[in-house]
Amino acid sequence: MDNLTLTEVTQRVGMSVRNVRFYTSRGLVPPPVRRGRSAYYTSSHVARLELIQELQLHGFTLSAIERYLADVPPDAAPEEIALQRTMLAPWSSGLYLEMSRAELAERCGQEVTDERLEMLKTLGVVRDGDDGRLLVALAHLTVGLELLEMGYPLEAAHAAAKVFAEHGRAVAEELREIFLNEVKPWYQGVSSESMGQILDRLKPLSLAGLVAAYEDAVNARPHRDTRGTDSATTR
């Protein structure tokens, strides 16, 4: 998949010419290979652009993408870059279904106003996809709608999302370092596909470990009556 023109690259990754050139100017993608007056792209260019798209899907800002790609050598093979994408891939395969806003409203059985959509996005039930489409976590859609009906405050959802983002990013980065420094060298010479299979098996165990650690932390705290201060004053 070498010797691709810029047009062929944009068609393959679904990215505009302007964006490809922008990411190249920022150093996120190496410049094309020059042969006379012609410029060509390789499978490594395609893999990097796909990795950038994956990072964007996970909510990485441009500066965060730059920091992430700083650890990916400019001469990294497509297989190495594909492994990075595997590490970022959703931990529950098939969790998000792409649909339009109208299709989401039809599935919800109600109008999806801007405020409701913001709440669903903040709760992590809906994400922005490409070309104005939405990515909807069907497994959590019912719960999100129930919270909307109960009048759950948007401010609380934003505050919780901030906590999840900050601590989740830190946990993900530490686990990534463990995998690259402790796991990957152990399987030296193993193909990218096999490493991806190892990651797929580790993901559910990691999720279970995170949930168990959270439950242990909650249970270790002194009991607090969630019914409010009225119950405390009556004791």
Buried b (16+ CB within 10 A) or exposed e, 113-138: eeebbebbbbbbbbbebeeeebbbbe
Question: Which residues are 35's β-sheet partners?
Answer: 38
> What is the percent of the chain where pLDDT is above 70?
89
> What is the percent of the chain where pLDDT is above 90?
29
Q: Which CATH class is domain 6-88?
A: mainly alpha
- Average pLDDT value for residue range 130-144: 85
Rounded to the nearest 10 degrees, how much is the dihedral formed by the CA atoms of 154, 158, 159, 160? 100
Residues 6+ apart with CB under 8 A from 148: 116, 119, 120
Q: Is 70 helix (H, G, I), strand (E, B) or coil?
A: coil
Which segment of 63-72, 86-95, 192-201, 212-221 scores lowest on mean pLDDT?
Answer: 86-95
Residue 72 in contact with residue 41, Cβ under 8 Å? no
Q: Where in the chain is the domain with CATH 1.10.1660.10?
A: 6-88
Q: Would you state the pLDDT for residue 235? A: 45
Q: Would you state the pLDDT for residue 234? A: 46
pLDDT band (50, 70, 90) for residue 152 = very high
- Average pLDDT value for residue range 182-186: 84
Straight-line distance from the first to the last Cα atom of the chain, in angstroms, rounded to the nearest whole number:
73
Cite the DSSP H helix spans in 30-136: 43-57, 62-69, 78-88, 101-108, 114-122
Nearest Cα residue to 196 out of 40, 34, 79: 79
Strand order, beta sheet including 134-137: 96-99, 134-137, 126-128
Q: Would you state the pLDDT for residue 211? A: 79
Write the pLDDT tens digit of every residue in 46-81: 999 999 988 887 777 888 888 888 888 888 888 788
Beta carbons within 10 angstroms of residue 192's beta carbon: 17
User: Is 22's pLDDT higher than 90?
Assistant: yes
User: What mean pLDDT is reported for the chain?
Assistant: 82
Structure tokens at 2: 């070498």
Q: Would you state the pLDDT for residue 28? A: 92
Place of tokens 């242990």: 216
Cα angle, residue 138 at apex, residues 213 and 194 outer, rounded to 5°:
60
Q: Would you state the pLDDT for residue 129? A: 80
d(CA 154, CA 103): 23
Which segment of 82-86, 117-121, 175-179 scores lowest on mean pLDDT?
Answer: 82-86
- Average pLDDT value for residue range 190-209: 76
- Write down the pTM of the prediction: 0.52
Beta carbons within 10 angstroms of residue 139's beta carbon: 13
Which segment of 49-58, 79-88, 94-103 scores lowest on mean pLDDT?
Answer: 79-88
Higher pLDDT, 57 or 153: 153
The residue count of the chain comes to: 235
Q: What is the DSSP letter of 180?
A: I
Higher pLDDT, 216 or 114: 114
